[in-house]
Amino acid sequence: MLGLANAHRENLHNRGLSDRDIAQLGYKSMPLSNNSELVRRVLETGADPQGVPGFFRTKAGWWSFVHQRSGILIPVQDMQGRIQGLQLRMDNTENRKFRWISSVELTGGCGSPAWTHLAGKPGKMIVLTEGPMKADVIHALSGLTVLAVQGVNALQRLEEALTELRTQGVREIKTAFDMDYITNCYVQSAYEKLMALLGRMGFRYGTYVWDPRYKGLDDFIWARLKVNLDRNS
């Protein structure tokens, strides 16, 4: 029932996503008004918002949806492609650009754990990176299957996801966290714990390294693809 603002579509295009990618991923713009009207339309479909992060009851007892700053809503999907929660990529902010949609402190509301997110179908090898949007972009540009956590320090649910993926035939993990892990001692410590977890679970593992002028693997792949596109145009 939501749309996508032109500025948000342009932002996604600049990351390398096509309109077809955007439609398949289900990215939408955060509603800034008429939330109660949108929820009324949801209820008319027979859906039950109880236990869904972001929904809450007003003082009058009506269901509504949280108001947040403007940004792009990102569906975070589990191993079966089901939406577990939503992340918001906020506009016009320097710090903490991503936050979970949650209504945990509101009447009838619900919190949202730091879910993992899978982009693509599991094969023998998957890439492990930070953040669902980054995972979606890497998958769209390269075809690689990517599992996202909410940062190298947020590994609470990773072991659970990896256990399930192992039953689906995954045997090798390639990590692709932003290149600043090389110089950040706190991130390095967490990264070492991650490597220990992968080894303990019996996975083969390695690390993607790319030109450090590009912070993320998604940025690097898109830059290389643009060079090839320019050469062929």
Name the β-bridge partners of 126: 173
Q: What integer pLDDT is reported at residue 212 of this predicted model? A: 86
Residues 128 and 174: beta-carbon distance below 8 Å: yes
Whole-number CA gyration radius for the chain: 19
Classify residue 111 by its DSSP letter. Answer: -
- The residues facing 71 across adjacent strands are 90
Tokens encoding 151: 């940062």
Give the C-alpha distances (Å, rounded to integers) separating 218 from 140, 145, 189, 221: 10, 13, 24, 5
User: Look-up: residue for tokens 């110089």?
Assistant: 183
Question: How much is the pLDDT for 181?
Answer: 65
Q: Which residues of the chain have pLDDT under 50?
A: none
| Both structure tokens of 80 | 């079966």
DSSP β-bridge partners for residue 149: 130
pLDDT (tens digit, 9 = 90+) per residue, 30-48?
Answer: 988 878 889 999 999 999 9
Model's pTM, two decimal places? 0.92
Residue 182 phi, psi dihedral angles, 5° rounding: -70, -35
- Can you give the pLDDT at residue 48? 93
> 81-130, pLDDT tens digit by residue?
999 999 999 998 777 899 999 999 999 999 988 899 999 999 999 999 99
- By C-alpha distance, which of 143, 95, 154 is closest to 120? 143
User: How high is the pLDDT of residue 227?
Assistant: 83
Query: How far apart are alpha carbons 15 and 26 in whole angstroms?
Result: 16
* CA gap 86, 104 in Å, rounded: 14
Q: What is the DSSP letter of 158?
A: H
